[in-house]
């Protein structure tokens, strides 16, 4: 009310608040007293929505177009049927048709554009895992991300692995993850050698495995 009923200012105030900027690390005392975090002693883990998953994949692969503003339809578009969602712009610019949506939107609980809905449903279903495992979009972005990584000179396999983890999961690999990852990619290429096709395939598979992990779907 004090800001003239401005929703934008309200959202800004919430996002800049102390509670909103807390870590997801749960204090031991809070775990015992407030296991459901009703008193907001720490931030709850945030599950990525469909648009964020798509944007994250494009960002890691280096393909995300961050251009601001402009039309979101392809020139000459006359209808939704047969429309190819092959753009690289942020998902906020992806056109939303009443009967046709990108498959990533359909799988990951995008709101039904045919009805008014103030809250999206949240599901955990097999097609979500299968989409991340098999969809050509994920396969292509994984390969592009691997190519970007291998183009960076002077990195050891360990440094490459840690960079891949930071890019996809926002953290460093654990000791066990590092050991398994190096064992997997090390069979295809040695330290500091030029990118080769076997190495590219192994690193692409590693990226795809990281995209499939539960840690990719959630923000801490």
Proportion of the chain above pLDDT 70, given as a percent = 95
What is the distance between the alpha carbons of residues 201 and 150, in angstroms, rounded to a whole number?
Answer: 11
Answer yes or no: do 153 and 94 share one domain: yes
Answer yes or no: do 26 and 51 share one domain: no
pLDDT digits over 93-145, tens only? Answer: 999 888 889 999 999 999 888 888 888 888 999 999 999 999 999 999 999 99
Is 2 among the domain residues? no
Answer yes or no: do 97 and 11 share one domain: no
- Average pLDDT value for residue range 197-203: 88
Is 68 among the domain residues? yes
Answer yes or no: do 135 and 162 share one domain: yes
pLDDT band at 162 (very low <50, low <70, confident <90, very high): very high
Number of domains in the chain: 2
Answer yes or no: do 110 and 189 share one domain: yes
pLDDT given at position 191: 46
Least confident of 69-83, 180-194, 199-213: 180-194
- Closest by CA position to 93, among listed 63, 66, 113, 72: 72
Query: Residues near 217 by Cβ (< 8 Å), separated by ≥ 6?
Result: 47, 48, 53
Domain that holds residue 27: 7-44
Answer yes or no: do 144 and 183 share one domain: yes
Answer yes or no: do 117 and 30 share one domain: no
């Amino acid at each position: 009310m004090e800001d003239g009923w401005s929703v934008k200012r309200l959202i800004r105030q919430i996002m800049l608040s102390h509670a909103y900027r807390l870590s997801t690390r749960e204090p031991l005392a809070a775990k015992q007293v407030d296991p459901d975090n009703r008193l907001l002693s720490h931030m709850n883990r945030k599950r990525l929505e469909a648009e964020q998953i798509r944007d994250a994949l494009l960002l890691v692969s280096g393909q995300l177009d961050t251009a601001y503003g402009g039309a979101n339809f392809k020139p000459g578009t006359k209808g939704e049927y047969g429309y190819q969602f092959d753009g690289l712009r942020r998902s906020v610019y992806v056109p939303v048709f009443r009967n046709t949506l990108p498959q990533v939107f359909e799988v990951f609980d995008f709101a039904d554009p045919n009805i008014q809905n103030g809250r999206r449903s949240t599901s955990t279903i097999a097609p979500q895992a299968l989409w991340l495992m098999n969809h050509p979009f994920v396969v292509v972005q994984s390969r592009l991300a691997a190519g970007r990584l291998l183009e960076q000179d002077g990195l050891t396999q360990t440094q490459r692995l840690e960079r891949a983890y930071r890019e996809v999961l926002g953290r460093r690999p654990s000791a066990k993850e590092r050991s398994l990852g190096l064992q997997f990619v090390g069979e295809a290429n040695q330290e500091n050698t030029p990118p080769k096709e076997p190495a590219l395939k192994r690193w692409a598979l590693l990226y795809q495995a990281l995209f499939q992990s539960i840690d990719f779907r959630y923000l801490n």
